[in-house]
Chain A
Amino acid sequence: MSKLINSSEALQFINDGDTLLVGGFGLSGTPLTILDELAESDKKDLTVVSNNLGESDRGLGKLLLAGCLKKAVGSYFTTNRDAVSAWNSGELKIDLIPQGTLAEAIRCAGAGIGGFYTKTAVGTKIAEGKEEKNIDGERYILEKAIKGDVSIIKALKADTLGNLIYDHTARNFNPVMAAAGNIVIAEVDEIVEVGEISPHDIVTPHVYVDYLVKNKYMKQGGVYVESI
Chain B
Amino acid sequence: MLSRFDRIKIAKKVAEELEEGSIVNLGVGIPTLIPDYLNGKKVYLQSENGLLGIGPTPDEEHINMDLISASKKPITMDKGASLFDSSDSFVMIRGGHVDVAVLGALQVDRYGEIANWTIPGKTILGVGGAMDLVAGAKKIILASTHQAKNGQPKLINELTFPSNGVRKADMLVTEHAVFKFTDYGPELSEILSDISIDELRKITGTKFKEKITT
Contact = CB atoms under 8 A, between A and B. Distances in A.
B163 interface: yes
A68 interface: no
Contacts of A223: 63, 65
Interface residues of B, number: 44
Interface residues of A, number: 55
Contact of B68 (A119, A169, A221): A169
B86 A118 contact: no
A169 B83 contact: yes
Contacts, number: 159
A8 to B, nearest CB: 25
Given A77-B126, A94-B125, A103 B68 contact: no
B132 A120 contact: yes
B87 interface: yes
The binding surface of chain A is classed by DSSP as mixed
B64 interface: yes
B128 A99 contact: yes
B62 A168 contact: no
B49 A87 contact: no
Interface of B: 47-51, 61-68, 72, 74, 77, 83-87, 89-90, 93-94, 123-132, 134-136, 162-167
29 contacts: A25-B50, A25-B86, A26-B72, A28-B65, A96-B127, A98-B131, A100-B93, A103-B85, A103-B87, A103-B89, A103-B90, A104-B87, A119-B94, A119-B136, A120-B94, A120-B165, A123-B163, A126-B127, A166-B83, A167-B64, A167-B67, A168-B66, A171-B83, A173-B85, A176-B87, A203-B85, A219-B65, A221-B63, A222-B65
